[in-house]
Structure 1
Amino acid sequence: MIQHHGLEWYGEGATFAEVCNDYTKVEYKCNGIGVLYDYALFLGIDLIFMDFNCTDTFREPIPNKNIIEIRHYQKGRVEFELRNNKVFHIKEGELCINALANIPAAYSFPFGYGVGLSCVIDKDSVDAETQQIFSYYNIDVLNLGRELELEKKWFLCRTPQRLLHIFDELYAAKGIEGRNYFRIKLLELFYHIKQLRIEDQYEATYYAKEQIEIIKRIRQQLIENLDKKISIEELLRKEPMSKVTFQAIFKQIYGDTPYAHIKKYKMNLAAVYLQETDQSITQIAGELGYSNISKFARAFQEVFGMLPKDYRKAKK
């Protein structure tokens, strides 16, 4: 019989929001939205959908779980802090597999949101019946990914073409299909995971936690002063980091150069103001550091494909 996990399995701040026949909905106390949909598909094997819209850092509740975990993110980017104070990031569309030796200490979302899924195999809980079911298809569920050297490091790759439709179908079926559907899809997923080889991966880039904190600190200063012209060089004078290193790590975290990222941040904020306030376009431009209205309009059009005045008409 498949059993639901207790709250301690989900970590600090978790509460049960809904317990259904097919899944358990878990919500986290955070500064936004943090929701899991946990489908317990076999004894010891869970498929968990994650929907986060917050900037909180979440701690791994049970650090010594003997697990194999397959992660995929449909939207956003996730930051993992390992127990050696190293940090790395998983981007949209990447596939990651890890095991006991590399369970993260904490995770957070640099963009403030993340939508993904995680398949967790708790090797100490998988029973003989479950092992036998998968063995019919020549899948050793307790040693899935054995060829990927998971005892040494995370396996990270761009999601292979043959797996894309599986993840698309899983996301589309959340809250619609029942447990049996997801069991079939999981079997298909494991079949393809079994075909992966160490040569398919690319090296994850790790940074020291202290370096990540510098990047976030400077980004926050830039965001808090959108109406001012503050140079990165000026902010870096107080930090033990070169501009070249700053730009490289910034792009790894946020996927853009600092200039491009802040520009997009400003334009997204402008879009909110245009839609939700009656401020003039000149006022909005000024609040975001643009004294030249034409430059602001051009920057907005580059991001949204239309001028600010046309965007406001379309959204009002």
Structure 2
Amino acid sequence: MIDIFFHDKTGVVSGFPGQIDGFEHADGNGEIHYYRLFDGVGVMLMQLEMGSYTEIRTQVGVLEVNFCINGRFETSFSMRSHVLLKPGDMAISCYDGLHGTKSESHFPLGYYEGLCLEIDPAAAGHWIRLNAPAFSIDFTALKQNLLGSKWYMVGPAGLRCEHVFRELYESASYAERGFLQLKVLELMLLLGRIPQERAADPYCSAEQTALAHHLRDHLLTNREGYVSLAQLAAEHAISVSHLQKLFKQTYGMPVYHYIKEYRLEQAAVELVRSRKPITEIAQHAGYDNASKFSESFKKRYGKTPSRYRADKTNAVKRSIETKTE
């Protein structure tokens, strides 16, 4: 079950945002905190502990910007449209009434923290012209820059955008309305100017995509014994090079790079959600040597595992104290 909480920073009754009433079949628990910042713009903070849910889209023309804070987020719009978000990634879509009406979202770590920014271009543009004319935001150009001829895109947010996304996520519950409005305006300006790759999406058939998912699941669950790509390729009567190409087309990175990143992200979640010793978490992530794990973790997250755990614990305490004041 997903509990939804409305917090209107404008002092006006917010009503229901574009997609907030479109979540179905959730197989766990979670909270969504929705903040309406000004006309046409709302922010959702998502904290979910579940494996999956179904999302139904109904609002045509609304820009939806998702940013992954922690965990991992996978969505399939169809067998040819597979989106994968890891921490620091964003996905941007504009529902056109045809593509992506229904999507299946999965959280393979069983945990997800993220931010979703919803923008109604017409209403937001009108508010900005009246209240913040110094921020000249051309939503048509912004959409063209981000999406081109597509209706969705996914990729790294980049350092500047990621910084603003995280500021919004961490401060939405207590910051002044004016500060949050400035952050959203800053983010929209950045999104309208960041360079985007225009590479064509590689095509995979439904059968090939299902095979890539199966290979991924096999590699992730087989922790006891080593399974080579040659063995997996032989089992499915394909070449190793074809297996590697298929995997990269589906998940956007080489096989073992994906597995390493996935297990480090899983370790980051365990550091926050459990009190397991770091040596045990390191072993679960595939590291026999705790110092090697610490080195890899620091390279990925910029902090040692112990510092990461301490900082996250302190952040939760500060959030609780702020809410109870």
- Give the TM-score normalised by structure 2: 0.63
Work out which of the residue numbers 75, 90, 100 in structure 1 matches 2:70.
75
1:253 paired residue number = 251
Give ranges in structure 1 of 5+ residues lacking alignment. 14-27, 291-295
Q: CA deviation at 1:145?
A: 0.9
Q: Give distance in 2, aligned partners of 1:263 and 1:142.
A: 35
Q: Give distance in 1, aligned partners of 2:114 and 2:200.
A: 19
Work out which of the residue numbers 215, 218, 225 in structure 2 matches 1:218.
215
2:44 paired residue number = 48
Q: Give distance in 1, aligned partners of 2:175 and 2:80.
A: 40
Q: Tell me whether 1:9 sits opposite 2:1 in the alignment.
A: no
SS in structure 2 of the partner of residue 214 of structure 1: helix
- Kept in 2: contact 1:78–1:91 (CA 8 A): yes
Q: CA deviation at 1:162?
A: 3.8
Q: Tell me whether 1:166 sits opposite 2:161 in the alignment.
A: no
Q: Give distance in 2, aligned partners of 1:191 and 1:263.
A: 31
* Alpha carbons of structure 1 residues 114 and 134: separation in structure 2 relative to 1, 3 Å: farther
Q: CA deviation at 1:67?
A: 1.0
- Kept in 1: contact 2:66–2:91 (CA 8 A): yes
Q: Give distance in 2, aligned partners of 1:263 and 1:94.
A: 13
* Alpha carbons of structure 1 residues 104 and 90: separation in structure 2 relative to 1, 3 Å: farther
Give ranges in structure 2 of 5+ residues lacking alignment. 1-11, 297-304, 310-325
SS in structure 2 of the partner of residue 165 of structure 1: helix
* Alpha carbons of structure 1 residues 148 and 239: separation in structure 2 relative to 1, 3 Å: same
Count of paired positions: 273
Q: CA deviation at 1:5?
A: 1.0
1:21 paired residue number = none
Work out which of the residue numbers 222, 227, 247 in structure 1 matches 2:224.
227
Indicate the larger mover: 97-106 or 257-266: 257-266
- Kept in 1: contact 2:17–2:42 (CA 8 A): no
**C-alpha RMSD of matched pairs (Å):** 4.4
* Alpha carbons of structure 1 residues 240 and 211: separation in structure 2 relative to 1, 3 Å: farther
1:23 paired residue number = none
Q: Give distance in 1, aligned partners of 2:20 and 2:207.
A: 29
Identical pairs, percent = 18
2:134 paired residue number = 137
- Kept in 2: contact 1:3–1:43 (CA 8 A): no
Q: Give distance in 1, aligned partners of 2:49 and 2:182.
A: 30
Q: CA deviation at 1:129?
A: 5.3
- Kept in 1: contact 2:30–2:48 (CA 8 A): yes
2:60 paired residue number = 65
- Kept in 2: contact 1:65–1:122 (CA 8 A): no
Larger radius of gyration: 1
Q: CA deviation at 1:276?
A: 5.4
* Alpha carbons of structure 1 residues 67 and 4: separation in structure 2 relative to 1, 3 Å: same
- Kept in 2: contact 1:68–1:120 (CA 8 A): yes
Paired letter, 2:42 = D
* Alpha carbons of structure 1 residues 7 and 302: separation in structure 2 relative to 1, 3 Å: same
Q: Give distance in 2, aligned partners of 1:178 and 1:160.
A: 26
Q: CA deviation at 1:49?
A: 1.9
- Kept in 1: contact 2:18–2:118 (CA 8 A): no
Q: Tell me whether 1:37 sits opposite 2:33 in the alignment.
A: yes
Paired letter, 1:170 = L
